[in-house]
């Protein structure tokens, strides 16, 4: 479905819109009936039969309105919800195609705000504002026409007051254009801060930074409060001034209608309605003014959605990626997350096929960045990376990820059962294959102790499991996927001793497979048997070799090894 088709209205929506407008028009017929009854009473032509007839007409109109409104409202809601569903699905598909670098440059809150608040706002346009605007606009024209029949000069004045909506809307739209966009941007920032606050609530509490002491969140919410006030402070006076002028037409019409009524030029009931109908029109135009202000504000949400839909996607290539071997080579690769702050500097090294290569180094030295570049989460600024002798620069990221399995420090799990979480690695896997993978990942025992075993729900992002249990499920995924290349990013970090031993055993089982393995480790004893160890420092490979070769160098690796031995001694 194209971006344009995402906003396409369906038959249910149009049908609901038409019925809602029709119901509004029928509501205007009540004034005609009231006019007929009052005129009949004033002229002395009333009879029980005529009163019963008019009462029956009012009752019939009410029933018809009730039926039309029920059907129209329901269909417009369903139709609008269908459009917003398509938009959300389209946005989800779009986010899937965006380069991961975009998620670091933009706050997470902006995407969340578009997917939730902006789509909801656009749905409000479809299901409420549009029908209300059309209905009130048509009713206003009918009221003016009715007054024109009663007394034409009064209709001219009311038409002029209705046309005052144009300059009022112009001013309102300028306010929305300035403060509405600013408020929308601040809202996205506030959502991002709230998400960060919720994700880090444990750490914030631990360091006494919860509540109002969290300066970033407090500042974002204060900024939101300020811009919301400015928005309303500039918008309300314009609307208020228009309403004053609009309601001044009520005494004005009374005044110009009084003289012809007193002279007998117009009927007394006509004069009565000349006094009443301007109030009806004033309420209608006030509602149109408010709805138009909201409508223009809500259109900002549509613009935000459209801007996201037009963001540059990852480039697709027709190049076939099918390496015969799975050795990995970096050739003068440079990369930075922030311009002017390089993480990797012309880095070159080779990872042998079907061997374990370990990467060690200080925090922030670029170890995880190396894995991210291999997985094509990011592209190098310069240099080249090849797998099996084939460059991955112009290859689709999905094709590279097809031959990779990753076990990260932070495992993401779905709010599903254990079995379905593992099955994501290989949707065609049988239950038996899943259980075999879990046994190799050293997690079969704790799974079977759960209330429903493999069919137990693990909560949102696996919050019903311990860190070690979540990590072992991640390893089970990697085993089930059975890719020729395995990337391990400090899979045993931040675990207690018992869980670390269980995860190490799971990794040991995983390493027995004939794969090209790249492992980042904070414990050197885990990787001392690696075929190759790369020591990363200052964005480059400072040392490389086996454990024994590096110890003989007496350099950085030796210092790291001696420090670890001193701690564990």
Radius of gyration of the chain, Cα coordinates, nearest whole angstrom: 35
CA distances for 119 relative to 85, 86, 122, 177, 302, angstroms: 9, 10, 5, 19, 8
Instruction: In whole angstroms, give the CA distance from residue 131 to residue 138.
Output: 11
Per-residue model confidence as pLDDT tens digits over 381-390: 999 999 998 9
Q: How many residues does the chain have?
A: 569
And the tokens for 327?
């050795």
| CB-based burial, 279-299: b 16+ in 10 Å, e otherwise | ebbbebbbbbbbbbbbbbbbb
The predicted pLDDT at position 200 comes to 66
Note the CATH number of domain 3-309: 1.20.1560.10
Choice between 103 and 318, residue whose per-residue pLDDT is larger: 318
In this prediction, residues 370-399 reach a mean pLDDT of 89
The predicted pLDDT at position 105 comes to 46
Domain extent listing, the chain: 3-309
Please determine, for residue 304, whether its predicted confidence score (pLDDT) is greater than 70: yes
Sequence-separated (6 or more) residues with CB below 8 Å from residue 498:
468
Per-residue model confidence as pLDDT tens digits over 11-31: 888 888 888 888 877 887 777
The predicted pLDDT at position 287 comes to 85
And the tokens for 420?
């379905």
Per-residue model confidence as pLDDT tens digits over 503-532: 667 667 666 667 898 988 877 877 888 889
In this prediction, residues 43-48 reach a mean pLDDT of 79
Please determine, for residue 174, whether its predicted confidence score (pLDDT) is greater than 70: yes
Per-residue model confidence as pLDDT tens digits over 60-106: 888 998 898 889 888 888 888 888 888 888 888 888 887 766 665 45
Please determine, for residue 217, whether its predicted confidence score (pLDDT) is greater than 80: no
The predicted pLDDT at position 201 comes to 66
pTM above 0.95, yes or no: no
Per-residue model confidence as pLDDT tens digits over 483-505: 899 888 876 655 556 666 666 67
pLDDT band at 455 (very low <50, low <70, confident <90, very high): very high
Please determine, for residue 469, whether its predicted confidence score (pLDDT) is greater than 50: yes
Instruction: In whole angstroms, give the CA distance from residue 130 to residue 76.
Output: 10
């Amino acid at each position: 479905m194209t971006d344009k088709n995402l906003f396409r209205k369906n038959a249910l929506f149009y049908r609901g819109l038409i019925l809602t407008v029709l119901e509004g028009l029928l509501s205007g017929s009540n004034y005609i009936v009231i006019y007929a009854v009052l005129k009949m009473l004033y002229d002395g032509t009333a009879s029980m039969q005529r009163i019963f007839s008019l009462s029956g007409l009012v009752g019939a109109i009410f029933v018809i309105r009730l039926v039309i409104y029920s059907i129209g409202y329901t269909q417009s809601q369903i139709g609008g919800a269908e459009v917003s569903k398509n938009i959300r699905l389209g946005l989800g598909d779009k986010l899937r195609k965006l380069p991961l670098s975009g998620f670091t440059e933009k706050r997470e809150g902006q995407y969340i705000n578009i997917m939730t608040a902006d789509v909801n706002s656009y749905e409000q346009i479809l299901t409420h504002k549009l029908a209300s605007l059309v209905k009130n606009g048509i009713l206003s024209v009918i009221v003016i026409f009715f007054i024109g029949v009663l007394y034409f000069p009064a209709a001219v004045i009311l038409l002029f007051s209705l046309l005052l909506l144009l300059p009022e809307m112009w001013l309102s739209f300028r306010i929305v254009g300035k403060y509405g966009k600013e408020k929308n941007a601040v809202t996205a920032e506030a959502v991002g801060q709230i998400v960060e606050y919720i994700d880090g609530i444990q750490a914030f509490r631990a360091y006494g930074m919860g509540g109002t002491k969290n300066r970033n969140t407090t500042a974002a919410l204060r900024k939101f409060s300020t811009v919301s006030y400015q928005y309303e402070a500039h918008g309300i006076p314009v609307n208020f001034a228009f309403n004053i002028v609009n309601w001044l037409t009520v005494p004005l019409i009374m005044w110009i209608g009084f003289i012809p009524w007193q002279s007998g030029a117009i009927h007394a009931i006509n004069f009565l309605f000349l006094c009443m109908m301007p109030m009806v029109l004033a309420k209608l135009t006030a509602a149109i003014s408010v709805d138009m202000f909201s409508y223009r504000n809500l259109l900002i949400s549509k613009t935000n959605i459209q801007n996201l839909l037009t963001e540059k996607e990852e480039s697709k290539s027709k190049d076939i990626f099918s390496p015969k071997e799975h050795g990995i080579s970096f050739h003068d690769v440079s990369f930075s997350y922030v311009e002017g702050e390089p993480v990797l500097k012309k880095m070159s090294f080779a990872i042998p096929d079907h061997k374990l290569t370990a990467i060690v180094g200080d925090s922030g030295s670029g170890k995880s960045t190396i894995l991210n570049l291999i997985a094509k989460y990011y592209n190098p600024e310069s240099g080249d990376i090849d797998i099996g002798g084939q460059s991955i620069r112009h290859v689709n990221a999905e094709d590279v990820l097809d031959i990779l399995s990753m076990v990260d420090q932070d495992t993401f799990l779905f709010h599903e059962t254990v079995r379905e979480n593992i099955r994501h690695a290989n949707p065609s896997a049988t239950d038996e294959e899943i259980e075999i993978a879990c046994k190799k990942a050293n997690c079969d025992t704790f799974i079977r102790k759960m209330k429903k075993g493999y069919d137990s729900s693990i909560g949102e992002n696996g919050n019903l499991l311990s860190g070690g249990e979540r990590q072992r499920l991640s390893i089970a995924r990697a085993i089930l996927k059975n890719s020729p290349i395995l990337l391990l990013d400090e899979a045993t970090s931040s675990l207690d001793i018992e869980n670390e031993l269980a995860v190490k055993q799971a990794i040991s089982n995983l390493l027995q497979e004939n794969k090209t393995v790249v492992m980042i480790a904070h414990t050197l004893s885990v990787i001392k048997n690696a075929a190759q160890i790369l020591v990363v420092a200052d964005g480059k490979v400072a040392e490389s070799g086996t454990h024994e070769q590096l110890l003989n160098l007496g350099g950085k690796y030796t210092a790291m090894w001696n420090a670890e031995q001193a701690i564990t001694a």
